Amino acid sequence: MTNPNDAELRERLTPEEYHVTQEAGTERAFTGEYWDTKDEGTYRCRVCDEPLFSSKTKYDSGSGWPSFTLPMNDSAVDEHRDVSLGMVRTESTCAKCGAHLGHVFPDGPGPEGLRYCMNSASLRLDRDASEDGTTDEE
């Protein structure tokens, strides 16, 4: 899949999905589709369908956003310094298409101690995907 242009994205995405993925917006806490989802599968980029996170690394952080301890692999998510809103944070984007996903914080569980705090609007849960990110159609 090639990355869609702006007109295609505006047609395909909801206004909130567009705002979050293309304008680095943030959905309100406890409102997104996946903040409390416990279904198994692969979370993919809403824009380009790239596999990003496994449900096996999702946990309840209490933050109101879907949170993960690790991306699907080392090349799935890019990280960038974000100094907006008078804070210094680490922004997470899809490594394939650059869509804004959320932020990563150093307060998570596990040996890495990271919390990938993502917006539901930037993700699509593929309940039928295998954990390696492939589907039967591929």
Q: Is the distance from CB of 80 to CB of 74 less than 8 angstroms?
A: no
* 94 is annotated as an active-site residue: no
**Which positions ≥6 away from 46 have C-beta within 8 Å?**
13, 17, 21, 99, 121, 122, 123, 124
What single string gives the DSSP state of each residue in 91-131? EEEETTT--EEEEEES--STTT--EEEE-GGGEEEETTS-T
Active-site residue among 45, 94, 97, 117? 117
**CA-based torsion, 18, 75, 61, 105: positive or negative:** negative
- Going by the DSSP 8-state scheme, the letter that residue 86 receives in this structure is G
The β-bridge relationship of strands 115-118 and 67-68 is antiparallel
Residues designated as active site: 117
